[in-house]
Amino acid sequence: MQYILALDQGTTSSRAIILTKEGHIVGIAQKELQQIFPNPGWVEHNACEIWSSQASVMTGALAMAHLKMRDIAAIGITNQRETTIVWDRKTSHPIHNAIVWQDRRTRTFCQSLKQEGYEPLFQKKTGLLLDPYFSGTKLRWILDNVPNAREKAERGELAFGTVDSWLLWQLTDGRYHITDATNASRTLLYNIHTHEWDNELLEILKIPRSLLPEVRDSSEVYAECSSTVCSSSTPIAGIAGDQQAALFGHSCFKKGMGKATYGTGCFILMNTGPKPAPVKNHLLTTIAYKIGNKTHYALEGSVFIGGAVVQWLRDNLGIIKHSRDIETLAKQSMNSNGVTFVPAFTGLGAPYWDPNTRGTIFGLTRGTQNSHIAYAALESIAFQVADVLDLMHELTPITQLRVDGGAVENNLLMQIQADYSNIPLVRPKWKEMTALGACFLAGLAVGFWKDLDEIQKLWKKEHEFFPSINDVKRKEAKNKWDKAVHWAKMWGNS
């Protein structure tokens, strides 16, 4: 058994990769996931499609590598995090579509909790803010709005899980209801200091404890894959939310090391060591990973719309045919010609946490071309990430940022990011950092790799981007961005 299999279930697609001990990917498969938008600000997935697509790519990766499940030493799982699924324990059938992390339907409820003075309590215990982003209020919505859901939950007939729990349930034919500490720490229900579901928070949100999965370490053998699913009893041995998995994949094992993942959203995490960082400046404190009952924490800033703005230009505005075309289009002008794009399609994440803000484009003239809008879209991604990095830098100096995700292949975006952040960006040779993190966690649990030092030696740099503009230009650009965000927030909250 010379290989590790990672299941990487993301917001827009499901992927699987197969990795060797030397860090070579020998099999990979990917399948897009349908996005469902029932109402403005609502985002859902079909939970059954999540599982079927993940099972399909698992088979596809094995076929590409000419392997069978008996060749796999262990399976790791990484997943879109706060996305919420509730299913019937007997039938394993979801009682509602999965409510995706981007969904904003509970913003009024979150606001009412804030008005009642609960946010400091949630922040102290969970490291999170009261925002629709997180799972707890999504779960409350399902219990309150799906017929008979609350009654069934109180009878112990239903199970709640983030996507990792749902996949593990399916892989084991419903024998195990488990999550790991990283995913639990994103629910608004888990106390990151006591490492248990918090009864006081459950009472406030009216969540029956019987719904919740068992919380385990990020690297340990949880169960064996059912032979009816995997054709062999392969151990499932690693679980982490996608952003924590990417941090682990980047070998950010020491305090002060950080990464930015450019996916549907952009997620910036910095390892803060064995103690949680003080919560301030609207950044989040979360669990980075938990191994051998030892916990490392991270400081996090979450940008809701990153690569999704490129998808919007492709699917809604129609100015590019493929997402990769945005770099070529933006290079036609190499500037925004005064256009500023605030892509707040689902509100603003860190550091603003304003669910009411909506997407806006400022500075349009008769001379505005598609290339200017494309360039402004790339700038919008870089500005949002820079906002988070500036706040993190106040707590711990950042000398280098490791980057991953589909958008890091866009050299123009990476250069713009280095310019506006004033920090060197390092792109690794590996492209699948999230899945690699899941591989490493699973491999550690079964002795495939002996320790973190062995994993760290596998990480290799491909390219480094250095800042190329002066402080005056940087300040001018960011001042214009700050004004645009201010006006977008005024529009959304008017």
Extract the annotated binding site: 11-13, 15, 81-82, 133, 242-243, 264, 307, 311, 406, 410
Q: What are the Cα distances from residue 155, in Å, to 136, 149, 166? A: 19, 10, 20
- Give one DSSP letter per residue of 243-265, joined into a string: HHHHHHHTT--STT-EEEEESSS
Beta strands 3-9 and 72-79, pairing class: parallel
Half-sphere exposure of 422 (CA within 13 A, CB side): 14
Q: Which residues of 242-253 are buried (b: 16+ CB within 10 A; e: fewer)?
A: bbbbbbbbbbbb
In eight-state DSSP terms, residue 100 is P
Residue ranges with strand state E in 306-358: 340-342
Cα-based torsion angle of the residue sequence 286, 358, 259, 162 in order, rounded to the nearest 10 degrees: 50
Which residues, other chains included, contact 409 with Cβ-Cβ below 8 Å and sequence gap of 6+? 324, 431
Cβ–Cβ < 8 Å for 329, 370? yes
Residues of each annotated binding site for ADP = 11, 15, 264, 307, 406, 410
Cα–Cα distance between 301 and 267 in angstroms, integer? 6
Distance CA 443, CA 173 (A): 23
Q: Which residues are annotated as a binding site for glycerol?
A: 81-82, 133, 242-243
Binding site residue list for ATP: 11-13, 264, 307, 311, 406
Show binding-site residues for sn-glycerol 3-phosphate.
11, 81-82, 133, 242
Tokens of 143: 């219990």
* DSSP states along 15-37: EEEEEETTS-EEEEEEEE---B-
Report d(CA 383, CA 406) in Å as an integer. 18
Report d(CA 131, CA 137) in Å as an integer: 8
